Amino acid sequence: MRDLQDIETVGVVGAGTMGAGIAQVAATAGYDVVMRDIEAEFVEQGFDRIEDSLDRLAEKGEVDADERDDVLDRITGTTDLGDFSDSDLVVEAAVENMDIKRDIFSELDDEVPDDVPLATNTSTLSITTIAAATDREERIVGLHFMNPVPVMKGVEVVVGEKTSEAVVDLAHDFAEALGKETWESDDKPGFVTNRILMPWINEGIRAFDEGVATKEDIDKGMKLGTNVPMGPLELADHIGLDICLDASETLHEELGDRYKPAYLLKRKVDAGDLGKKTGKGFYEYDDES
């Protein structure tokens, strides 16, 4: 079993918003990173996301040009899971689909040395079910990063049925080495964050759909009334309405009607208005915003 001082190379499965963000913060912390996606085009898009993020940090004076280049130099892109064979820890950040995640973990189990811990960035799916696709269930753990990863300070550590205490400790230590703060959740649907967050977002959407207030006043009321940085509609746009819908549907299936997705959320997703990433959700966005 490896511990924190043994980790030099981190594998990241997925070069989307979350995967690229995880790769960035790991490289910023000094780790060598292998970032993999299923097509070279997606890997390149991941690098574009990282470069854009680093450029924004440079504009704020949080990194200089040399630090930016050093971070990028520490990241290697690939489309081959076999390139994780020298990784000391692998974090999966693929699409939020149980079948896909189980397939990935089954392949990782074959490609990565037996003593290497494997983490999943899932926000709602069972760690125990994912782990059962491997022969190393005690080395599977949830590392649920918040979006956007380079900015948000929190990481949720999720403990599966067979996750060992040593791997849980390593997950906390690794996240803290990235400059994050952690909290721990048992492997229950939605964990801590989405179990509480998704009903809040859905109720905000319902309040807007039923004409309780304008979207601006709903968000303003929640920000000023509860001291949160974003209201529910703004936050849903920021997360991605498709991601909110997927999470809500998973929780609805597991926990019943109190988690039923708002009708307007479904309609927005069907229309392709997914929030900030598509330029339109409950609000409209341009490059400046």
Burial 170-207 (b: 16+ CB within 10 A, else e): bbbebbeebebebeebebebbbebbbebbbbbbebbbb
Q: Is 14 annotated as a binding residue?
A: yes
Instruction: State the maximum Cα–Cα separation within the chain, in Å, rounded to a whole number.
Output: 56
Amino acid, single-letter form, for residue 78: T
Q: Which helix (H) or strand (E) holds 31?
A: none
Is there a binding annotation on residue 97?
no
If phi > 0 it is left, if psi is from -120 to 50 it is alpha, else beta; for residue 13 that is beta
Residue 39 assigned to a binding site: no
Residue 82: CB atoms within 10 Å:
11
Active site residue 144: yes
CA–CA distance, 46 with 156 (Å, rounded to integer): 23
Residue 194 appears among annotated catalytic residues: yes
Q: Find the catalytic residue in 53, 144, 164, 185.
A: 144
Contacting residues for 264 by C-beta, under 8 A, at least 6 apart: 205, 206, 208, 209
121 is in an annotated binding site: no
| Residue 143 one-letter amino acid | L
- Alpha-carbon gap, residue 177 to 87, rounded angstroms: 17
156 is catalytic: yes
Q: Does 129 count as an annotated binding residue?
A: no
Catalytic residue among 53, 87, 123, 164: 123
CA distance 188 to 193: 11
| Residue 287 CB coordination number (10 Å) | 5
Task: Specify whether 123 is catalytic.
Answer: yes
Q: Taking Cα atoms as reference points, which of 152, 99, 90 lies closest to residue 121?
A: 90
Active-site residue identified among 156, 172, 185, 202:
156
Residue 234 marked as a ligand binder: no
> Considering 121, 194, 202, 248, which one is annotated as catalytic?
194
Q: Is 138 annotated as a binding residue?
A: no
User: Is position 82 annotated in a ligand binding site?
Assistant: no
Tell me if 279 is assigned to a ligand binding site.
no
Is position 19 annotated in a ligand binding site?
A: yes
- Any binding-site annotation on 27? no
Whether 176 has a binding-site annotation, put simply, is no
Annotated binding site: 14-19, 37, 96, 101, 123, 147, 277
So which residues are the catalytic ones?
Answer: 123, 144, 156, 194
Annotated binding site for NAD(+): 14-19, 37, 96, 101, 123, 147, 277
